[in-house]
Amino acid sequence: MSTTGGSRFLKQPLASGVAGAGSDKRQTMQSRDILLREIQRFNSGSLLENQMFLVVVSAADIKRYDDIIRIFGYKFAEAMLTIRLEDLKSMLPDIDVYQVGFWSFGFIYDSTGMGDHKVFLDSLVEKLSSPVICRGIPIPIKAGVGVCDLKKDLGSSEDLLQSTFLAGQVSGTSANEWVSCADEKDDHRRAFSLISDVFSALTTPDEFELNYQARIELKTRGCTGVEALLRWRHPTLGVVSPGEFIPLVEMTGFIKPLTGWVLAKALAQTSAWHKRGYLLNVSVNISAKNLEEADFITLLQEKLSYYGLAPHYLELEFTESSLFFDQVAARNKLQALRALGVNIATDDFGTGHDSFTGLAANPANIIKIDRAHIATFSEGSRTQTIVKSMVTMAHDLGMIVVAEGVETGETLELLAKLSCDYAQGYFMCRPMLVDEFDAWYVKTYTDAAAI
Ligand code: C2E
Ligand code: CA
Ligand code: CA
């Protein structure tokens, strides 16, 4: 394939020694170090009269890449990456490409006197968004392309490389677009800000906070527990919902410290409630990526014992899509957690295409019926029949049923009639900061006011 008409690359290769796809960690680090030195060279003023750009290409987004490894294995994924690297190099005949991460590559591009560099970047994205044909199998993967203008003073070489890498990750989530570190587009800029600010937010007190939403037992109408829901009070963007930032954080390595933070905070709060005599359970949302951490269970046990909580007070919620049970390792981990006494819930039940077949091998002991079913639920409706079947089936399998998104008293009563076990939703209370929750709890339960 051809490069963009008229684009010119550095005629003198900046450095030799290109690491190939699948090269080991040491080689990748060496390759990355060479690129960092080159960035440093331009950053410190050399050749600044030229129009120099740093470009980082992520061959596939992390989730997609994980799926490929899971389905086809490492060797196949490596072969696929090698093909994509060759595609990239064929577009860049005169310049060196460096491996900067397992699935990402960086290079410096000189567009001096060649007009609009955007044309070249568009063609790069187009080429790298076509399916890779590996061992005769077409794999649809979409590359992410991040770009940084080396003329702009955007920090140290490490910062530049990191920012360009993150811009590539943001690009991977949007339709056929490359993303610049100094992107003017609102949605890109916002995603980019969020993704790059996670780490500092984790070390800044009060940027992340937890809201708690009550779970009500339908038989007694008592509040038996809470779900911890994360909020981010971003210094410039205001309160950001987890629905927006969790998928972005999952693309970085930061989901581990973030979930660790949520677990510690939620367990500390639950322990404080227990000391006051409120024996509440706590549910925490966990990402599928967390299950891949080798020390997830050990760290969880350490936290439980640090806060003096028995495991049965904790529930971990996983969405259906993360509980695909051909993943033997994930299933074994969930079984180990159950054996410890930790409760496991399948969140958003009834939204995945595999809800029922997945259940047979699902180690979860709780299902949370998604609010999409509950919202359209009324006496005599077809949804009522569906919800009724879900409750019966879950009970037959020995599982506990929670209905989410209960917004009216009528829905609550219907759920009680169907023998659903627990309910959560705005009708009882919205998610609240701890002080508000405490006031609600005391008012609702010590004033004996029925819900
Ligand atoms: P989810 O786990 O399904 O959480 C329930 C969501 O429904 C929450 O949105 C909650 O505020 C909202 N909700 C509760 N009751 C009602 C109701 O009656 N009606 C309606 N329309 N909505 C109701 P939120 O807090 O924005 O969280 C969105 C999602 O973000 C969560 O969905 C969960 O998947 C994820 N999330 C939240 N906190 C965390 C966290 O700490 N870690 C991870 N990995 N994901 C989290
Ligand atoms: Ca949840
Ligand atoms: Ca849910």
Cα–ligand 2 centroid distance for 132 (angstroms): 36
Decide if 384 is inside a domain.
yes
Q: Which two three-digit tokens encode residue 81?
A: 């990456």
Of 194-203, 253-262, 275-284, 419-428, the least confident: 194-203
- Has residue 12 got a pLDDT over 50? no
- Pocket probe for ligand 1: among 285, 318, 433, the residue whose CB has the most ligand atoms within 8 Å is 285
CA distance 120 to 5: 8
CA–CA distance from 198 to each of 192, 208, 243, 252 (Å)?
Answer: 10, 9, 15, 9
Domain check: are 297 and 374 in the same one? yes
CA 287: distance to chain centroid? 7
Decide if 197 is inside a domain.
no
Q: What is residue 213's DSSP assignment?
A: E
Dmax (CA) for the chain in angstroms is 80
Decide if 11 is inside a domain.
no
Q: Of 183, 213, 243, which residue sits at a domain end?
A: 183
422 DSSP β-pair partners: 217, 402
CA distance 145 to 230: 30
Q: What is residue 115's DSSP assignment?
A: S
- Has residue 392 got a pLDDT over 90? yes
Cα–ligand 1 centroid distance for 367 (angstroms): 15
Q: Of 148, 183, 218, which residue sits at a domain end?
A: 183
Mapped onto helix, strand or coil, the DSSP state of residue 107 is strand
Q: What is the mean pLDDT of residues 367-388?
A: 90
- Has residue 44 got a pLDDT over 80? no
- Has residue 192 got a pLDDT over 80? no
Environment of ion ligand 2 (residues, CB < 5 A): 285, 317, 347
DSSP string, 134-179: ETTEEE----EEEEEETTS--S-HHHHHHHHHHHHHHHHTSTT-EE
Cβ proximity of 143 and 58 under 8 Å: yes
Domain check: are 229 and 366 in the same one? yes
Decide if 14 is inside a domain.
no
pLDDT the model gives residue 70 = 72
| Residue 367: closest CA among 297, 298, 424, 300 | 424
CA distance 447 to 440: 10
CATH of the domain at 211: 3.20.20.450
Confidence of residue 254 (pLDDT cuts 50, 70, 90): confident
Decide if 188 is inside a domain.
no
- Has residue 205 got a pLDDT over 60? yes
Q: What is residue 443's DSSP assignment?
A: I
Q: What is residue 324's DSSP assignment?
A: -
- Pocket probe for ligand 1: among 211, 229, 451, the residue whose CB has the most ligand atoms within 8 Å is 229
CA 197: distance to chain centroid? 15
Q: What is residue 219's DSSP assignment?
A: T
Cα–ligand 2 centroid distance for 394 (angstroms): 18
Cβ proximity of 127 and 68 under 8 Å: no
CA distance 267 to 274: 10
Among the residues of 399-450, which ranges form H helices? 409-417, 434-441
Cα–ligand 1 centroid distance for 37 (angstroms): 44
Q: Residue type for 268, please?
A: A
Confidence of residue 370 (pLDDT cuts 50, 70, 90): very high
Q: What is the mean pLDDT of residues 141-161?
A: 82
Q: Of 183, 218, 234, which residue sits at a domain end?
A: 183
Decide if 9 is inside a domain.
no
CA distance 100 to 163: 13
Domain check: are 59 and 125 in the same one? yes
Domain check: are 117 and 146 in the same one? yes
Region of residue 345 (phi > 0: left; psi between -120 and 50: alpha; otherwise: beta): beta
- CA-based torsion, 15, 16, 17, 21: positive or negative: positive
Which residue's C-alpha comes closest to atom 32 of ligand 1?
243
- Has residue 353 got a pLDDT over 80? no
- Has residue 18 got a pLDDT over 50? no
Question: Which residues does a 6 A CB cutoff place in the pocket of ligand 1?
Answer: 213, 229-230, 241-243, 246, 262, 285, 287, 317, 347-348, 371, 404-407, 424-426, 431
Cβ proximity of 303 and 263 under 8 Å: yes
Confidence of residue 420 (pLDDT cuts 50, 70, 90): very high
Most confidently predicted of 37-41, 192-196, 305-309: 305-309
Question: How many domains in the chain?
Answer: 2
Mean pLDDT, the chain, integer:
84
Cα–ligand 2 centroid distance for 378 (angstroms): 23
- Has residue 2 got a pLDDT over 60? no
Q: What is the pLDDT of residues 78-116, one digit of tens each?
A: 898 889 888 888 888 788 899 888 788 999 988 876 667
Cα–ligand 3 centroid distance for 241 (angstroms): 14
pLDDT the model gives residue 354 = 57
Domain check: are 331 and 401 in the same one? yes
Cβ proximity of 288 and 254 under 8 Å: no
Domain check: are 170 and 263 in the same one? no
Domain check: are 38 and 121 in the same one? yes
- Has residue 188 got a pLDDT over 80? no
Cα–ligand 1 centroid distance for 387 (angstroms): 20
- Looking from the CA of residue 426, the nearest atom of ligand 1 is 18
Domain check: are 213 and 65 in the same one? no
Decide if 278 is inside a domain.
yes
Which residue's C-alpha comes closest to atom 23 of ligand 1?
405
Among the residues of 17-148, which ranges form H helices? 25-43, 62-72, 74-91, 117-128
Cα–ligand 2 centroid distance for 316 (angstroms): 9
Which residue's C-alpha comes closest to atom 41 of ligand 1?
230
CATH of the domain at 82: 3.30.70.270
Domain check: are 276 and 393 in the same one? yes
pLDDT the model gives residue 51 = 80
Domain check: are 256 and 136 in the same one? no
| Residue 421: closest CA among 179, 282, 217 | 217
Ligand with the closest atom to the CA of 349: 3
Q: What is residue 33's DSSP assignment?
A: H
Mapped onto helix, strand or coil, the DSSP state of residue 34 is helix
Instruction: Decide the pairing of beta strands 400-403 and 98-101.
Output: unpaired
Q: What is the mean pLDDT of residues 244-253?
A: 81
Decide if 10 is inside a domain.
no
Which residue's C-alpha comes closest to atom 21 of ligand 1?
405
Domain check: are 247 and 151 in the same one? no
Give percent of the chain above pLDDT 70.
Answer: 84
Q: Residue type for 164, please?
A: T
- Has residue 150 got a pLDDT over 90? no
Domain check: are 208 and 171 in the same one? no
Q: What is the pTM for the complete model shown?
A: 0.76
Confidence of residue 226 (pLDDT cuts 50, 70, 90): very high
Q: What is the mean pLDDT of residues 418-446?
A: 95
- Has residue 412 got a pLDDT over 60? yes
| Domain ranges, residue 29 | 25-183
